[in-house]
Amino acid sequence: MFLPSFLRRKGPNNGLEEKSNQQDLLPPLVEFAYKLGQEKIGVKINTLGSKPSSQSSREALPQYIKHVYDLLAISLGPQVARELFESQLTLFKKTYGVNQKYFELLKELPIPVMGAERLAVLNRAELENELKLRIKELEEIKANLEKTVLERTKTITAERNKLSLILSGITDAVIALDLNRSVVTFNRGAERLIGISQQDALGKPISNLIKFFSKDREMFTQEYTPFRGDGFEGETLNLEGLKIKSFNGKEVFVNLRVGQIREGPFVNLGCILTLHDVTQEKKLEEMKLDFVSMAAHELRTPLTALKGYIYVFSKNLINVLNEQQKTYLLRMNIASQRLIALVENLLNVSRIERGSLTLHLEEVDWVGNVKATVSELLDEVREKNQELAIIEPTKPLPKVKVDKFRMNEVLSNLLSNAISYTPTGGKIKVWFDCSPDEVITYVEDNGQGIPKEALPHLFTKFFRVSGVLEQGSKGTGLGLYIAKSIVDLHKGKIRATSEGLGKGSTFSFSIPIKEQVVSQIKSIPDGKIYIGRI
Amino acid sequence: MNNGKKVLLIEDEFFISDLYKHILSDAGIRVEVAEDGEQALQKSKADNIGLILLDIMLPGLNGIEVLKKLKEDPLYRTIPVVLLTNLVQSSVVKLAYNLGASGYLLKVSLKPEDLVRCVQDYFKNPNLKMRYETLDLD
């Protein structure tokens, strides 16, 4: 604590008592105020002013003290300023005793220190004056407080209105729940989606308004409105394509996001649900699939005629055609066969997307089946003057249980690729491998190969190897996607390896031998019966 | 060899019906063609129909309705009916089987020699049933 220099020199018990009654305490307090001001704020603020000199008028001293006090009150807060001065006055009291001079000092000080003691030394008029001052001060504080409250209220109201405008402008449904999972916020999007007004929804348990379904199972309330108790803030749940049923039976599909804020438990806010309506998108997706399916089916009829007449034509005229004419006919046949494969692939994609691709398993002599499928593509192999070899396994393979039709689509997709991406005169090899668990079929070619960076994406829908292959590329980017989907359904694995561009590639897929639990993604959807002309 | 048996081909697409007629005739099989459901019911009254090949998408009465009428009539109930179409939902095939259809062929993947063999098989054994589980369904 700061002590005026003369006190420091002599010390409190060094014959001060005798002198004390004559001591004017104002100058030491000015000294104190000046030092304090320098120490606490002088460096920062240049408004400390010059300390009154011994020649200054007596009125200047309390004025200066008030000036410093006010500066301190502004920069450190009134509480701190008062405490600093009061501790100094207490020190004076201890040093000099509570004498006349001390009370005179208090009376002269225009700053609110030593409140109780000051009152004691005032006469009636001075008391009244003091009281008026205090009342005025209080009124000022009150007015300030009211102003602050008013401003804060305005800010809060503005925030609230802003929030409600934002909420009403959002097309997604936003629903906030309290800790009992009853509705506390229900925006316009929610009114539209659920089909109930905000008024009717507020205060109701969420489970009375909406039911959530994961696939076809109704979800528990806790499942779609999780609360985390560890002070977590942010997203707690993110689910897509959920079916919801509102209390009036309306069914929609939504993407659900749930979040919570840290202060939730203190303001009775459990979680906030945002529901994005994807019903239309789903419908559009279905329309797309329906269209693809319908178009592909319609294409089948002219293709049947095309392929059939080529057959009849070549059968009847094969003996009278010259070699060139025979080549033309062969090419027509290949082209129509490719077109058919393409249409079947389109249909397969729409089946896969719909989840209606199902398997009809039967025991199959695998090598025999592969030979039959290969023979259907021999025209193309001959046309490109390629060499196609089937290497039979040394030991006979066990019988496998597959959907023959679908598995042959896998094979013909892999073989077509091998033929397409291997130049004229190239070699294609089909061979087998067998372990106690599975039969693996390999289709190897010495063609264009696959760049390393493309390998992980080969089985993705619509993926096509770009760059070098682009010009000669014929694919739709569907064949391998379909092949993988079918192999997956059989619980097998499909793989591709290539040493790089120009080094050929090998595709393989496995078929498990053990009793398979083959998944049927979904039973065939009802109510989709095409009868009559579409 | 066919005991004078004939095939009734119910198909509205002329290109297709003429193609199959040609293929079957080449194999020595006689063919009657009906272009719609009404004609089909009329022509199935002819003698010696050994097999009916029935398209599903037909103008007027569709294939399923024709099948139903054929199987309701004691005179024709015994004639085997094989669906020959390009558009087959599993549910439709199930329905057709429940109504008494004997088999199903997908036109676009049907080889001519398989069509001929199928007809001959049914001429020999009208009670033949194709296994439903192993059909190639859409």
CA distance B13 to B35: 8
Angle between helices A26-37 and A60-76 (to 10 degrees): 30
pTM metric for this prediction: 0.61
Q: Is B75 on the interface with A (CB under 8 A)?
A: no
- Most B CBs within 10 A among A317, A339, A530, hence the mutation to make, goes to A530
Binning pLDDT at 50, 70 and 90, where does residue A516 land? very low
Which residue of chain A comes nearest to B36, CA vs CA? A532
CB of B43 within 8 Å of any CB in chain A? no
Q: Show Cβ contacts of residue A167 under 8 Å, excluding neighbours closer than 6 positions.
A: A174, A185, A187, A188, A189
B136 contact A CB<8A: yes
Kindly state the tokens that stand for A289: 């699939």
Confidence of residue A45 (pLDDT cuts 50, 70, 90): low
Selecting from A304, A529, A533 the residue whose C-beta is nearest the C-beta of B107 gives A304
Q: How many CB pairs under 8 A join A and B?
A: 78
Q: What percent of chain A has pLDDT over 70?
A: 89
Residues 80-119 of B with CB under 8 A from A: 86-87, 89-92, 95, 107-110, 112
Per-residue pLDDT, A21? 57
Interatomic CA distance for residues A441 and A451, integer angstroms:
22
Nearest to A304 among B16, B135, B136 (CB): B16
Classify residue A188 by burial, with Cβ atoms within 10 Å: 0-12, 13-18, 19+.
middle
In this complex, is the C-beta atom of B12 within 8 Å of any C-beta atom belonging to chain A? no
Looking at the DSSP bridge assignments, the partners of residue A239 are A256
Q: pLDDT at position A494, please?
A: 95
Query: Parallel, antiparallel, or unpaired: how do β-strands A271-277 and A234-246 relate?
Result: unpaired
> DSSP per residue over B114-126, as a string?
HHHHHHHHHHH-T
pLDDT tens, position by position, A478-497 = 889 999 999 999 999 999 99
Q: What is the pLDDT of residue A22?
A: 65
Cα torsion angle, A232, A234, A240, A244, sign? positive
The shortest CB-CB distance from A312 to any of B22, B95, B109 is to B22
Which pLDDT score, from 0 to 100, does residue A473 have?
Answer: 53
The distance of B17 to chain A (nearest Cα, Å) reads: 9
What is the C-alpha to C-alpha distance for residues A211 and A196, in angstroms, rounded to an integer?
14
The contacts of residue A9 (CB under 8 Å, 6+ apart) are none
Q: What is the pLDDT of residues A411-422, one digit of tens each?
A: 999 999 999 889
User: Chain A closest CA to B124's CA: distance in Å?
Assistant: 25
Test the A interface: residue of B16, B56, B57, B110 with most A CBs within 10 Å: B57
Residue A522: its pLDDT value, please? 35
Q: pLDDT tens digits for A263-275?
A: 888 889 999 999 9
Q: What is the ipTM of this complex?
A: 0.86
The Cα B69–Cα B125 span in angstroms is 23
Are A529 and B91 a contacting pair at CB < 8 A? yes
Is B37 an 8 Å CB contact of chain A?
Answer: no
Mutation target vs B (from A316, A342, A360, A403; most B CBs, 10 A cutoff): A360
Chain B partners within 8 Å of A347 (Cβ): 138
pLDDT surpassing 70 at residue A525: no
Cα–Cα distance measured from residue B17 to residue A245, given in angstroms and rounded to the nearest whole number: 50
CA distances from A2 to A6, A32, A35 (A): 12, 7, 8
CB contact (8 A) between residue B57 and residue A532: yes
* A227 has a pLDDT exceeding 90: no
Question: Chain A closest CA to B122's CA: distance in Å?
Answer: 22
- 8 Å CB contact of B112 and A362: no
Are A531 and B22 within 8 A, CB to CB? Answer: no
CB-nearest to B86 from A300, A309, A358 is: A300
Residue A17 has pLDDT above 50, yes or no: no
Q: Bridge-partner residues for A507, per DSSP?
A: A443, A496
Q: How confident is the model at residue B2, as a pLDDT? A: 62
For an interface test with A, which of B9, B19, B67 has the most A Cβ atoms less than 10 Å from its Cβ? B19
A interface with B, Cβ–Cβ < 8 A, is: 297, 300-305, 307-309, 311-312, 340, 343-344, 347, 351, 358, 360, 362, 404-405, 524, 526, 528-534
Count the residues in chain B. Answer: 138
CB crowding B21-57: b at 16 or more within 10 Å, else e: bbbbeeeebebbbbbbbebbbebbeeeebbbbbbbbb
Pairing mode of beta strands B6-10, B30-34: parallel
pLDDT class for A352, splitting at 50, 70, 90? confident
Q: How would you class B2 by CB atoms within 10 Å of its CB: exposed for 0-12, middle for 13-18, buried for 19 or more?
A: middle
Q: Is B56 on the interface with A (CB under 8 A)?
A: yes
Round to whole Å and give the CA distance between A129 and A139. Answer: 15
Residues sharing a CB contact under 8 Å with residue A138, sequence separation 6 or more, in sequence order: none
CB contact under 8 A, B108 and A308: no
> Is residue A476 exposed (0-12), middle (13-18) or buried (19+ Cβ within 10 Å)?
middle
When CB atoms are compared, the residue of A302, A307, A530 closest to B87 is A530
CB-based contact A301 B109, cutoff 8 Å: no
Q: Cβ distance A362 to A402 under 8 Å?
A: yes
Q: How far apart are CA A412 and CA A332, in angstroms?
A: 19
3-class secondary structure per residue, B43-95: HCCCCCEEEEEECCCCCCCCHHHHHHHHHHCCCCCCCCEEEEECCCCHHHHHH
What ranges make up the beta strands (E) of A7-52?
none
SS3 A328: helix
What's CA A35's distance to the chain center, in Å? Answer: 59
The separation between CA A6 and the C-alpha centre of its own chain, rounded to angstroms, equals 71
Nearest to A305 among B15, B109, B135 (CB): B15
Does B133 contact A at CB distance below 8 Å? Answer: yes
- In chain B, pLDDT over 90 holds for what percent of residues? 46
- Phi/psi of residue A320, nearest 5 degrees: -105, -5
- The string of DSSP codes covering A350-381 is HHHHHT------EEE-HHHHHHHHHHHTHHHH
Q: pLDDT per residue over A235-245, tens digit each?
A: 999 998 899 99
Report yes or no: B47 and A335 within 8 Å, Cβ to Cβ.
no
Within a 10 A sphere around the Cβ of A424, how many other Cβ atoms?
8
Using a CB-CB cut-off of 8 Å, the residues of chain A touching B22 are 312
Per-residue pLDDT tens over the stretch A294-339: 888 889 989 999 999 999 998 888 889 998 998 899 889 888 988 8
CB contact under 8 A, B86 and A301: yes
Q: What is the pLDDT of residues A74-128, one digit of tens each?
A: 888 888 998 999 898 888 888 888 788 888 888 888 888 887 777 777 778 888 8
- Angle between helices A279-317 and B112-124 in degrees, nearest 10: 90
Pairwise CB contact (< 8 Å): A533 & B23: no
CB neighbourhood size of B76 (10 A): 17
